[in-house]
Amino acid sequence: MTYNEKLLDRTKRHPEKQKNPDRPMGKKPDWIKVKAPSPTGIYQETKDIVKSMKLTTVCEEAGCPNIGECWAKSHATFMIMGEICTRACAFCNVATGKPDALDTWEPTRVAKACKEMKLKHVVVTSVDRDDLKDGGAQHFIKTIQEIRRLSPNTTVEILPGDFRGDFDAIDMVTNAKPDVFNHNLETVPALYPTIRPGARYFRSLRLLERVKEVDPTIFTKSGLMVGLGETNEQVAQVMDDMRAANIDFITIGQYLQPTPKHAPVDRFVHPDDFKKLEKMAYAKGFLMVSASPLTRSSHHAGDDFAKLKAAREEKIAKAP
């Protein structure tokens, strides 16, 4: 792609961000470097299945740095309900605009891909669909049901938007019994107006709390990025809020700026400092913590799900 094509692509993907001044993207520290994906073997098989099933992945749409590693292990995160999001978060590389109509066969194709890829665990996320009355709740439910039907050995983790805090939608999706209900808080409350203007911190937190009220057996999970302008004290406060909402699993990763029009990186957190955040989170009572520069919500999600179950069993066994 030439520079002009890239520029055009950027303008089309993020029309609302074009008024932002260009912010230099700077050099990444050594500990962030990842290998470019090699278009061979299982990586290529994953790519072929995604393409032949006409599916969208957040791995590609968000330009995730882990794609080489994940796809080479047959692990992709499916993004349902189209490629266009109705929100415009300052950190996100998913295209913004008016979304297409829902594809009624998409849940079945996601399930068939799970079967073909022999997935033990799948993460299904989506764009935000504020244009739909139920925020896409029924589409998520259909996707969970189709995976259960066609690929019964695959455990299901969903990573939806906030359904605008609609309890009917949240309850319906929870009652479809995903194994993990994941919803990212993304950043600290003070940064919501600039970083996540279409969302509300306490609405997202309440969503996760609600899932546990409806079904305490479902694991809840939430993620934060660091490097957007937050302090470690604010991160600690978010951990406390998450624990008060009974969230089981926290993920913390380094924010990386996708284009010069996105929010700039405020700091690169050293791996040793991620270790300190991990220690702090365990001390606050999370069942599972994943904190490292390249941690993403769905990174190693299958292995982490097995550890999460083991951690709960150990906790129950130790209970008086």
Residues that bind ligand SF4 (CB under 6 A): 58-59, 64, 66-67, 70, 75-77, 296, 298-299
As measured in angstroms, the least distance from the Cβ of 159 to ligand SF4 is: 9
CB of 69 to ligand SF4, least distance (A): 7
Contact 107, 142 (CB under 8 A): yes
Short-list 146, 51, 77, CA closest to 105 = 146
CB of 74 to ligand SF4, least distance (A): 10
CB 137 within 8 A of CB 173: yes
**Quick one: tokens of 285?**
């009572």
Q: In angstroms, how far is the first alpha carbon of the chain from the final one?
A: 62
Of 169 and 291, the one with the shorter C-beta distance to ligand SF4 is 291
- Which residue(s) pair with 251 in the sheet? 223, 290
Nearer to ligand SF4, 84 or 190 (CB): 84
d(CA 257, CA 92): 8
Nearer to ligand SF4, 59 or 81 (CB): 59
Closer residue to ligand SF4, CB minimum distance, 222 or 298:
298
The answer to whether 187 touches 224, Cβ cutoff 8 Å, is yes
Could you give the 3-state DSSP secondary structure of residue 161?
Answer: coil
- For the bound state, the minimum distance from the C-beta of residue 215 to ligand SF4, rounded and expressed in Å, comes to 25
Torsion angle of C-alpha atoms 305, 311, 312, 316, degrees rounded to 10: 160
In degrees and rounded to multiples of 5, residue 123 shows phi and psi of -110, 130
For ligand SF4, give the closer residue by CB, 64 or 170: 64
Pick 76 or 281: Cβ nearer ligand SF4: 76
Minimum CB distance to ligand SF4, residue 316 (Å): 29
Smallest distance from ligand SF4 to CB 294, Å: 8
